């Protein structure tokens, strides 16, 4: 009962504080609803970036991956730090200069309206059928194991997943539909603090549990004796992130996710100026480099505990009697945390789920309202009608995502790797046309449109027909090969499919573009830390 009480209290506290801070702050204008009135500071941007990303897709997925493969899965977090440096120094100044609210809006400016329409559709469909279902399913699984919800609710495992998915979808929709980006960003900041505290607690308590009467320092030696490759930063052949993949699919997926993914970078578009935006992005980079302490280490400890504790190992088995990586994190939390703290952390996990969920809904609404409703359906729409269309879009996307979550991911093992492979289907084609658009000023919209379509077809074929990927030995190498091919294709098409005049970016004059003076120095330091970290842990 104490667990449930602390869970409800913390969840309600975040909702009340968010309402108190955001009430009276306009959400009935386009900038107010979609970009928080372009008023976000560096600290809020960093918190929102981290919480939009750090959800159960990482808590459950990465710790489950670390349970199976050890420290090498940290690449998804550590390489993200380098990608955020690129975002702060190269991409963000250009995005803010254009004064855009969406990535497709920038692509229309660079190419034409048909490229905007295509990319808008791709983002919305991908969020609805890939990202949101994964967030909902992984979150439902974590909460089910953490709070032992099947026993508490008197439901079967599958029924519990459906019930939790419905709960998250309803609450998350309320934030996004009625509060807009400002409510999303503020609630992200509160939940971010809770997740930081809670994540550190899980790491600490899991190490204490593994140590027993011994010292925590000795636990690391025991873990390494039990699993010699546990702390090796470079994956081995046959693992999901064998080290050569760091230079192909892992790198490309990270670059797209942190530099071009609407759902993530929309909060940077709401920065009050470039300096605040860069501060927020670089602060987020620093915490991403540290993230393996809460997103990877507990999974490594969990394997050691499972090998020593038969009851815990039993809690990880699925219906087929096989260890399920999706059950690792929730079961570990229930094992090592005292009851009241379990309730608090469950509330934090719900907050992280809601953060990602409502942020994606807000991004979907932004894409639809500004890219489809206002451009195609009702070109003379009032501001009120545009915002209303965004709220309707959020509700529909939430509904379809909730229905799809258990259907797409239930019963799968290695769900995080599967999720990343699905992301590649649209990440790689979109990254291609964005980068070519930056570095080639003459290729026209038709070249980009053809390249994106060809890329989607090739990536879908290679992803869902394993024979395509097997030619390259890895799904991530396949992504790298397709990316190189698509760049060559668009550059070749662009030699005769040209704009009437070379593209010149115009300054919209909406925010101060004076950069943060230490940005390059801080960015260089972040990159150096990543390289040192990898080299020092290369052999475990």
Cα separation, 244 vs 476, whole angstroms: 9
Query: Is 135:57 a contact under the CB 8 Å cutoff?
Result: yes
Q: What is the model's pLDDT at position 207? A: 94
Task: Determine the straight-line distance between the first and last CA of the chain, rounded to whole angstroms.
Answer: 43
Mean predicted confidence (pLDDT) in 285-307: 93
CATH fold, domain 2-504+517-536, is Sodium/glucose cotransporter (1.20.1730)
pLDDT at position 144 is 84
The pLDDT of residue 34 is 46
What is the share, in percent, of the chain residues with pLDDT greater than 90? Answer: 35
Assign 491 a pLDDT band (cuts: 50, 70, 90).
very high
- pLDDT category at 27 given cuts 50, 70, 90 is very low
pLDDT at 526: 95
Q: Average pLDDT for residues 486-500, to the nearest whole number?
A: 95
| Range 5-13, long-range pairs (CB < 8 A, 24+ positions) | 5/343, 6/340, 6/341, 6/342, 6/343, 6/344, 6/347, 7/147, 7/343, 7/344, 7/346, 7/347, 7/350, 8/347, 9/347, 10/194, 10/343, 10/344, 10/347, 10/348, 10/351, 11/347, 11/350, 11/351
Q: What are φ and ψ of residue 473, in 5° steps? A: 80, -15
Task: Write the secondary structure of 343-401 as one string of H (helix), E (strand) and C (coil).
Answer: HHHHHHHHHHHHHHHHHHHHHHHHHHHHHHHHHHHCCCCCHHHHHHHHHHHHHHHHHHH
Give tens-digit pLDDT for 3-22.
667 767 766 776 676 666 65
Q: What is the mean pLDDT of residues 401-419?
A: 80
pTM: 0.82
The per-residue pLDDT of the chain, averaged, comes to 84
The residue among 285, 216, 318 whose CA lies nearest residue 529 is: 285
Residue 190 makes CB contacts below 8 A (sequence gap 6+) with 14, 17, 18, 351
Q: What is the pLDDT of residues 36-53, one digit of tens each?
A: 456 688 888 887 788 777
How many whole angstroms separate alpha carbon 537 and alpha carbon 313? 28
pLDDT digits (tens, 9 = 90+) for 143-193: 888 888 888 788 877 888 888 888 888 877 765 555 554 555 566 666 667
Give residue-wise pLDDT tens across range 323-343: 878 889 989 998 998 877 887
């Amino acid at each position: 009962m104490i667990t449930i009480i602390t869970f409800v209290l913390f969840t309600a506290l975040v909702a009340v504080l968010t309402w108190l801070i955001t009430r009276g702050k306009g959400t009935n204008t386009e900038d107010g609803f979609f970009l928080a009135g372009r008023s976000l500071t560096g600290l809020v941007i960093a918190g929102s970036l981290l919480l939009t990303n750090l959800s159960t897709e990482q808590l459950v997925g990465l710790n489950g991956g670390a349970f199976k493969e050890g420290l090498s899965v940290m690449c998804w977090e550590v390489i993200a730090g380098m990608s955020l440096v690129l975002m702060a120094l190269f991409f963000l100044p250009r995005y803010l200069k254009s004064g855009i609210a969406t990535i497709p809006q920038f692509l229309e400016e660079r190419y034409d309206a048909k490229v905007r329409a295509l990319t808008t559709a791709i983002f919305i469909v991908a969020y609805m059928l890939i990202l949101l279902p994964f967030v909902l399913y992984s979150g439902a699984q974590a909460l089910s194991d953490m709070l032992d919800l099947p026993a508490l609710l008197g439901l079967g495992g599958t029924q519990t997943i459906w019930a939790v998915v419905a709960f998250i979808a309803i609450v998350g929709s309320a934030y996004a539909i009625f509060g807009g980006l400002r409510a999303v960003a503020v609630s992200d900041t509160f939940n971010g603090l809770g997740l930081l505290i809670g994540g550190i607690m899980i790491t600490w308590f899991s190490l204490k549990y593994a140590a027993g009467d011994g010292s925590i320092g000795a636990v690391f030696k025991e873990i390494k004796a039990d699993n010699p490759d546990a702390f090796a930063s470079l994956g081995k052949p046959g693992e999901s992130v064998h080290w050569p993949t760091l230079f192909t699919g892992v790198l490309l997926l990270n670059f797209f996710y942190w530099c071009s993914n609407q759902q993530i970078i929309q909060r940077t578009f709401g920065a009050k100026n470039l300096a605040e935006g860069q501060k927020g992005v670089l602060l987020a980079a620093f915490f991403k480099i540290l993230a393996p302490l809460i997103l990877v280490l507990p999974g490594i400890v969990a394997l050691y505990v499972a090998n020593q504790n038969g009851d815990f190992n039993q809690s990880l088995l699925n219906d087929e009697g096989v260890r399920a990586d999706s059950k690792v994190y929730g079961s570990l939390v229930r094992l090592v945390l005292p009851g009241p703290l379990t309730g608090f952390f469950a509330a934090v996990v719900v907050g992280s789920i809601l953060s990602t969920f409502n942020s994606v809904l807000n991004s979907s609404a932004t894409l639809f309202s500004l890219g489809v409703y206002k451009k195609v359906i009702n070109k003379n729409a009032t501001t009120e009608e545009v915002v209303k269309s965004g709220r309707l879009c959020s509700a529909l996307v939430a509904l379809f995502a909730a229905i799809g979550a258990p259907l797409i991911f239930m019963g799968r093992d290695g769900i995080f790797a599967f999720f990343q492979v699905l992301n590649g289907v649209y990440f790689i084609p979109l990254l291609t046309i964005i980068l070519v658009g930056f570095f080639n000023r003459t290729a026209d919209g038709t070249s980009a449109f053809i390249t994106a379509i060809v890329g989607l077809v090739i990536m879908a074929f290679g992803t869902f027909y394993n024979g395509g990927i097997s030619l390259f030995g890895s799904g991530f190498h396949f992504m790298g090969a397709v990316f190189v091919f698509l760049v060559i294709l668009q550059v070749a098409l662009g030699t005769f499919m040209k704009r009437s005049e070379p593209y010149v970016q115009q300054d919209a004059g909406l925010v101060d573009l004076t950069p943060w003076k230490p940005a390059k120095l801080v960015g260089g330091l972040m990159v150096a830390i990543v390289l040192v970290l990898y080299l020092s842990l290369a052999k475990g």
